[in-house]
Amino acid sequence: MFAQQKKRDLKFDEKQAAKRGFVLNSRDDGPRSRGRKPIYIKQQEQNALDELRKKRKRLVTVLHQEVSELELIEHLRMMVLVVRNLSFVKSNEHHIIKCFKLVDTLTSMFVDMIDSEITFNCLDALTNISKHIVLSEINCGSLLVQSLFTIFTSG
């Protein structure tokens, strides 16, 4: 009974102090506003974000390395594999087909036949989104059809 009354009195005292601009609790640093962060907290957060951005910009120049063509092809294989795996999920089809550059890149990599693994992963991804593809809207639509016939006749 007394504990509840003490809590009520403490809350009342905090509200009265907050109205006057004083802080009774050590957890608050300034007068409380309803649902908004104080300006100094916003400034601290913005400064922290600015520092992170500066660090990222500095690291980008430091992380530049020379890589061989084999490593680049290996990275390309991994990226195409990721896109292929994403294309198997039905809800991702719409998002993939909306990215015209991605579809054009997939078709051009399939047409170029740089690497057999990349070619077949591109074929899988294109197969999954093929019901949304209009050949006349793709840059290399006729080349895509010719490459398909080439694979059918060679395999």
Where do the structural domains in the chain lie, given as residue ranges?
A: 2-62, 69-154
Residue 100's alpha-carbon distances to 76, 95, 113, in angstroms, are 18, 10, 20
C-alpha gyration radius of the chain? 30
Q: Above pLDDT 70, what percent of the chain?
A: 72
Is residue 59 predicted with pLDDT exceeding 70?
Answer: no
- SS3 at position 150: helix
More confident residue, 21 or 40: 40
Q: What is the pLDDT of residue 77?
A: 94
- Would you place residue 118 in the very low, low, confident or very high pLDDT band (cuts 50, 70, 90)? very high
DSSP 139: T
Q: What is the pLDDT of residue 26?
A: 47
Is residue 23 predicted with pLDDT exceeding 80?
Answer: no
Sign of CA dihedral 60, 65, 66, 71: negative
